[in-house]
Structure 1
Amino acid sequence: MKKLLVAGLLALAGAAQAADPLLINGAGATFPFPLYSKWFSEYGKQHPDVRFNYQSIGSGGGIQQITRGTVDFGASDAPMTAEELAKLPGVVHVPTVLGAVVVTYNAPVQGLKLTPETLAGIFLGKIAKWNDPALAAVNPGAKLPDLAIAVVHRSDGSGTTSIFTDYLAKVSPEWKSRVGAGKSVKWPAGLGAKGNEGVTGIVKQTPGAVGYVELAYANQNKLPMAELKNHAGVFVKPTIAATSAAAAGVPMPDDFRVSITDAAGKDAYPIASFTYLLVPGDLRDGAKGKAIVQFLWWAVHDGQHLAAPLDYAPLPRAVVEKVSAKLKTLKVQGRPVALGASR
């Protein structure tokens, strides 16, 4: 009897263990975190045998972790550099959606407009008050307060920072020479905060603050956003349509590593970007590898309808087709994965 009881308990334990979902670990960008959280939740409902654990630690951290092999996938808004790619040969950039980096602020100003020159001037520390003549010239008739500007920027290695500084380096020669572009830069002015969440929080709590965050964070926290003068000379609000317009006409390279900041179209929002999931071209863990590739297929097809409600722009159809072809080249233990038809 005792042996039968022990055997029964072991069988039950084995069944429970078998029922545990496959845990897939990822880390990286905070920029797409609201959407990724939704995706992982919805995918989990359809595939209860798979569970995703994603740490929103910034693009720099995501690239470090996937390079070290401590996570199953990474996430970054900034494409990996040649130096980073050399440390992880064979990694594949999978574009997931498009997002906008917005300039948000905490000041009693309605419909703030910023030119490339005034935006660079603020983050260079040269425009230090809200009623600066340079801001007044761009915002005629606006009641600009006699209030100090508190610049807020990211303190961690950040894809959002990479997108923002990539734009500033394109439009401001002084920014390019003094600061440059990258996931981490030496800021001329301001306070640092971790993640899009951290910057959003400080801007929300600090009178006079100006910061840069992903569109979803500003909308969800009901923060005002500046209209930016784009490459065509048109002031554009950050919207999903304007984000999509930034990608129109920009050739997509085979490795998907592309910048779409300061795009030429008159409807284009000037600080927009693709965001990426990073995976090995040949995944070594059989069960996890198959689950990751199948999730990626779902994300770029069925998952796209969840993007717009969370303030992200879905991938253009031509990009979906190109990404689909790339996903079919991914291997798990040297073999391709059977991928289902999209919805």
Structure 2
Amino acid sequence: MKGTLVRRRVLAGIAVAALALAACGDGDDDTGTGGTEGSEFSSLSGSLKATGATFPAAYYQEVITAFKDEAPNLTITYNGTGSGTGKKDFGANLNDFAGTDSLVKDTDGPTAGSFLYVPTVAAPITVSYNLSGVDKLQLSAETLAKIFQRTIKTWDDPAIKADNPDAKLPAGKNITVVHRSDGSGTTSNFTKYLDSAAKGVWTLASGDTVKWPADTQGGEKNTGVATLIKNGDGAIGYVDYSDAKASGLKFAAIKNKDGKFVEASVKGAQAALAGAEVKDDLSYNPLNAAGADTYPITSPTFLLVRTKYDDAKKKEAVIGFVTYLLGDGQKLAEEVGFAPLPDALKTKALAQLDKVS
């Protein structure tokens, strides 16, 4: 089958990563981002609709744009609605594939056995802030937990001072906590991190939605949270790395498991990926990973693809796009602030597509 043939070629490219794909054979093997009439994807046509996580949306848009050169007759739309909505849409057959940063629960919509997890990239969740006169900030997990559950309410709290002995923190300045107002995988991973790293301190549990204290502010999608932080002196919130950078936000260095304060970066996310345990269904958790260079709030993200597509044309289109994303599409990740998958995980992710019928 064509999809299997393409995946074999991508797998071969991973196995011999030192060789350029363009030099691996004749024109039929060309799956480069430049696009040629010999592209293995050029026969794909029709349209695909996807909804879901806003966290990887910038990366997916980059890949979709590049893939258009390879499959000019195929139209793909990805609408960043939030992981919760993406999963519900998937369960209601309102999309062809979905993006999610969090795993599927029984109440999310998709039924067990109807989907496969396909890891795509990973990236830091920043703790972004707006505090006049403070350009560098460091926070431990325990201090962060107390800030977000409103145990700590001012910027000159002793716990923040202890984390920042050299900073000039404003006296009596109130902290405004900003969070997601929609069901969000970013919220799920941020609160999972606090639940793990600040165990015994964090009391708000974890999930796509959390019952935040009444004196906090909610923003829709990562961009909404970023806007509220940018417009509010004294504000702090959690925002994906790509949107935080695009919004010009400052973000705190977070104390990792090895006791080092590490700023959000692609390098820090890659360090977290290196030690993550991958389960049989390809779910994995790089949060609070060990390692001196690890950024501790590193989020995975996945595509949900169906185990069975009734429309053969859509099936081949989904397989083709995801194959490209896991091949040449990985080269685009760092440009927009994401960590590409390690080769071993890419190989396993490609093998998931052989299970689609």
TM-score interval for Structure 1 and Structure 2 normalised by the shorter chain: 0.7 to 0.9
What is the identity, as a one-letter code, of the residue corresponding to 1:77?
D
Larger mean CA deviation between 304-313 and 316-325 belongs to 316-325
Q: 2: CA distance between counterparts of 1:286 and 1:21?
A: 12
> Which residue, out of 65, 70, 85, partners 1:46?
70
Q: 1: CA distance between counterparts of 2:254 and 2:268?
A: 11
Equivalent residue, structure 1, for 2:123:
99
Question: How far does residue 271 in structure 1 lie from its aligned partner after superposition?
Answer: 0.7
Counterparts in 2 of 1:254-333, with a 5 A limit? 254-331=280-357
Q: 2: CA distance between counterparts of 1:104 and 1:328?
A: 40
Counterparts in 2 of 1:42-191, with a 5 A limit? 42-82=66-106, 84=108, 87-108=111-132, 109-146=134-171, 147-174=173-200, 176=202, 178-188=203-213, 189-191=215-217
Stretches of 4+ aligned residues off by more than 4 angstroms: 82-86
Equivalent residue, structure 2, for 1:338:
none
SS in 1 for 2:339: coil
Q: Which has the larger radius of gyration?
A: 1
| TM norm structure 1 | 0.87
Computed over aligned residues only, the root mean square deviation of the Cα atoms, in angstroms, reads 1.7
What is the identity, as a one-letter code, of the residue corresponding to 1:134?
A
* Cα deviation 1:172-227 (Å, max 9, x = unaligned): 23455x31010001012510111001001110111110010100111111111100
* Cα deviation 1:137-191 (Å, max 9, x = unaligned): 1101211113211000000000000000000111223455x31010001012510
What is the identity, as a one-letter code, of the residue corresponding to 1:96?
T
What is the identity, as a one-letter code, of the residue corresponding to 1:101?
I
Q: 2: CA distance between counterparts of 1:279 and 1:328?
A: 12
SS in 2 for 1:87: coil
| TM norm structure 2 | 0.84
Contact 2:90 2:109 in 1 (8 A): no
Count of aligned residue pairs for this structure pair: 312
Equivalent residue, structure 2, for 1:228:
254
Contact 2:87 2:109 in 1 (8 A): no
Larger mean CA deviation between 278-287 and 58-67 belongs to 278-287
* Cα deviation 1:45-102 (Å, max 9, x = unaligned): 2211111121111000000000010111111001212554872523001111011101
Q: 1: CA distance between counterparts of 2:264 and 2:84?
A: 25
Contact 1:124 1:175 in 2 (8 A): no
What is the identity, as a one-letter code, of the residue corresponding to 1:259?
N
Residue identity (%): 38
Equivalent residue, structure 1, for 2:275:
249
Unaligned residue ranges in structure 1 (runs of 5+): 1-19, 332-343
Question: How far does residue 289 in structure 1 lie from its aligned partner after superposition?
Answer: 1.2
Distance 1:157 1:86, change over 3 A: closer
Contact 2:148 2:177 in 1 (8 A): yes
